Structure 1
Amino acid sequence: MPSSSASAHPPGRPAGKRSTRRRGRVLAVGFAVMAGVVVGAGAVAAVRLVSTPPPPDLHLQLAATLAVAPGPPPAIPLPTTGSFDLVSSDGGQVASLAPTAVVPIGSIAKVMTALVVLKAKPLALEQSGPNYTITEQDVAFYDQVVAGDGSNLPVTVGEQFSERQLLLALLLPSANNIAETLAVWVAGSQPAFIAELNSEAKTLGMTQTSFADASGYSPQTVSTASDLVKLGQAALANPALTYLVGTPTATMPDGTTIHNLDTDLGTVPGWLGIKTGSTPQAGGCLLFAAEHVGPLGATSDVRVVGAVLGQTTPSGALDDELGLALTVAGTAVKAAFEDYPTIDPGSLKPPAVPGTLRSGWGTSTGLQASFESGLSSVEVRVGATLKLSASQVTHLDPTAVASGTVVGHVTGTIAGVTVATWDVSATGGLGQPSWQWLITH
């Protein structure tokens, strides 16, 4: 029987020579792999040596605000009764008195009526809109309002009004019967229209407001001064409605001239109007807006929107109570606009920018701010501050940073409007990284 060694080594092929050749091949492959690793590592190192290092990090401890008109804001005279809220476009609430008290609002409700009408039947500034023919139901609305001693506009069956004329009759002399006519025209019925009023109030965030009718004569139509400021802001955002509420007089189809009950129009500088209101339950009420008028008579972007509710007088006469609401509003606006200096953003002292710009290899440099750009001039209320925010220049080569290199920006805003921007510059360079850092990073 053949031995096991004979079967492992076929005749004619010595075992020693085969093993030597195999080891040679393995060594050759190993040397090749090692050479490839060395070449690859060298290539990676070469790439890293010539690549741009990652951008530096901006570490900035920026103040949240910057005072631009130091000093206490002017005191705003408040009513002795009722509720009041006044909000400025450049800095939030200016003054208030019981702004969340829920009370009847009278004909201020007609502003929401007009908004809903214009949402269903939009008007451009110069458009009259579709015509509406007065029906027997509209005459019945008129008779009911007269019987209840409400404000009204006489109408006759077959008389035609444009949409614009109906809205002017609603808003200027505050005709209650026209509110009912518009409600049925737009929604088909008064209940359906009231549902739309409350839906729109919810959309505007008027969480403490409830409409029971389209005219506001019902004492169940209630709101707050702060909610009504939101309504006023929505009215000013609609150009057609802004124009309508600021109209002093208008002519109806029969030639009758109607007058706006807001007598501050044309007498208080910058007055934009919005809507009066007065009922036995609501007292004197006013939703109003005004824009600041500068010393040379030019208007600015600064606006205030306010609401005054529940004004009462010893006489109890509605005209007197409405007159008191108008006086309260006009006095408050005049006081609010007393201290509005004009600021040149370029003259403002740059904000402090404590912090550093740091490279990935551990070097750092200080920072300084300088004016970059801004509005040509801006009117701000005394006590106003800029809200500051910072940003870093992207794709910055740290090896190119030197003294004066712009590495970031600081932006100052008031109510979301950019007033000024400053460059943030390095006070020195960051140097060059070592070749060891480049290879390992």
Structure 2
Amino acid sequence: MTDEFSDLAELMREEQELTDGLADADPEAHLRRRRRRRIGLLVTAIILVSILGTAGGYVAWALNAPLAAPRATSQLPGAPASTAAPIILPDGTASAISISGADAYLGPDAAGIWATTGANDPRPMASISKLITALVILDAKPLADANDAGPTITFSKADHDLYDKYYVMGATIAAMPTGSSMTEREALAAMLIPSASNYAEAVSTWAYGSQGAFVSAARRWLAANGLTGTTIAEPTGMSERNTSTPTDLIALGRIAGANPTIAAIAATPSISLPGAGALSNTNDLLGVEGITGLKTGNLGYGTYNLLYTATMDVGIGQPLQIVGVVLGENTREGLDNDVRALLTSIREGLRPVPVATHGQQVGEYRTPWGASAKIVIAQEASILTWSDTPITVAMETTTPKTYSDGEVVGSITWTAGPSTTTIPLVVEGSIEPPDDWWRLTHPDELGEP
């Protein structure tokens, strides 16, 4: 623009020189020339003002025009594949299992009978009978709570003789010296923890006065509790006429597990009692996969039984409450292995599945002037699922206000059955505005003034 002003000034000087000479020679011509000169100067001034005004207006517009919003692109991450959990049920036996606390995953009937194997026919339950014996005794001689010792029982010579009776029968027994005494709770522990048959008969006779009265009371108790598939002929389980079905035994397990005295005794690995000495629990699975009880029972080869309870934390809030039974295993080792494998498969079937990592990119913002920022998942995430329940994913995004690092710009949600996990999406990096030169040289990228 300086050159244009210089040229104009030079023309004006030349014009003035011509005008001065003409004024001396021809005054009329001089006046005409001055009028034309003034009109030319006015036109030139108008043109210059227009040029200068246009340039200044463009600069002001370019430096202040709104910018187009950064272009956003996103890609929904794939959901991880779910793999089926192999639930390992006992093979070649009669079994049943009930699970409370996972209805949303296992189905509404899980707390009833979730899975079974074999027929639901009555089978010899062996020493599982002692749970019924203990519950019927507590019906006659109730204890206030798990810590209530109850009345003292003093054992007679007749009680002592039961030791020899059951020894000859090959039953499990515990010492019971004549004249020795222990509390009702201790006597129940001697019956349940080592499964001492002499204590089962002695304490049931103490509670009811005779075995006949006890058996009658036991049958009434079974009927009152709806255990119509269960038969009791005596208190120990030595008789093969003491039978029950898997579904009845699940119900029995719930009743026994809800009784504070029996639940506490059944969860005790070992105990030392006056007269009886040191006693160990026959349930060697206590503590394995959350097992808390209840009672073993066997009549020798081919009749190994276990009615068990377990509390299993699988990360869904409240732990699972499990009641299970296995009847008719060939060996004690096989029984333990089957129960352990089943509970392990349940625990591994309900599992957290990783679905995202911290900072995982799911999109980006890009601008015409070359700035960019990422859309990322704000934190690592996992979702609890059961077995091969499908996992789905959905994402929502919003338009950022500042495009600055850490700004929340939406969320991503994974769903698996009843479980959902939602994590925020954030901007990683910041988008800075372009410099003045880019604005001046890219008018087509700018918004309307």
TM range (shorter): 0.5 to 0.7
The one-letter amino acid paired with 1:323 is E
Which of 272, 289, 293 does residue 309 from structure 2 map onto? 289
Letter in 1 for 2:91: T
Q: Kindly report which structure 2 residues correspond to 1:92-241, keeping only aligned pairs within 5 A, or say none.
A: 92=110, 93-123=113-143, 124-241=145-262
Letter of the structure 1 residue corresponding to residue 181 of structure 2 = Q
Within 5 Å, give how 1:271-350 maps onto structure 2. Answer: 271-280=291-300, 283-294=303-314, 300-312=318-330, 321-341=331-351
Cα shift at 1:292: 1.2
Residue segments in structure 1 that go unaligned for 5+ positions in a row: 1-69, 313-320, 344-377, 385-413, 421-441
Question: 1:205-249 CA deviation, whole Å, 9 max, x = no partner?
Answer: 222110111011100100111110100000111112111100111
Shift of 1:322: 2.4
Which 5+ residue runs of structure 2 have no aligned equivalent?
1-80, 104-109, 354-382, 390-416, 421-449
2:374 corresponds to? none
TM-score by length of 2: 0.57
8 Å CA contact 1:292, 1:299 repeated in 2? no
TM-fit CA distance, 1:281? 7.4
Cα displacement string for residues 250-273 of structure 1 (whole angstroms, at most 9, x for unaligned residues): 11103721000111113x131111
Taking every aligned residue pair, what percent have the same amino acid on both sides?
29
State the one-letter code of the partner of 2:320: V
Q: CA deviation at 1:290?
A: 0.8
Please identify which structure carries the higher helix content: 2
Deviation of residue 161 (structure 1)?
1.3
State the Cα distance separating 1:97 from its structure 2 match: 0.8
Q: Please state how far the C-alpha of 1:154 moved relative to its aligned partner.
A: 1.6
Distance 1:73 1:212 in 2: 45
Match of 2:93 among 74, 79, 82: 82
Which residue identity does 1:278 align to in structure 2? N
Rg comparison, structure with higher value: 2
What displacement does 1:131 show?
Answer: 0.7
Deviations 1:317-339 (A, max 9, x none): xxxx2232222112111111212
Q: TM-score, length-normalised on structure 1? A: 0.57
**Contact residue 93 and residue 118 of structure 2 kept, 8 A:** yes
For the Cα contact (< 8 Å) 1:104–1:281, is it kept in 2? Answer: no
CA distance in 1 between counterparts of 2:136 and 2:419 reads 35
RMSD between aligned residues:
3.0
Higher relative contact order structure (alpha carbons within 8 Å, sequence separation ≥ 6): 1
CA separation of 1:128 and 1:260: change in aligned 2, threshold 3 A:
same
The structure-2 alpha-carbon separation of the partners of 1:242 and 1:342, relative to structure 1 and needing over 3 Å to count, comes to farther
* Distance in 1 (alpha carbons) for counterparts of 2:271 and 2:90: 32
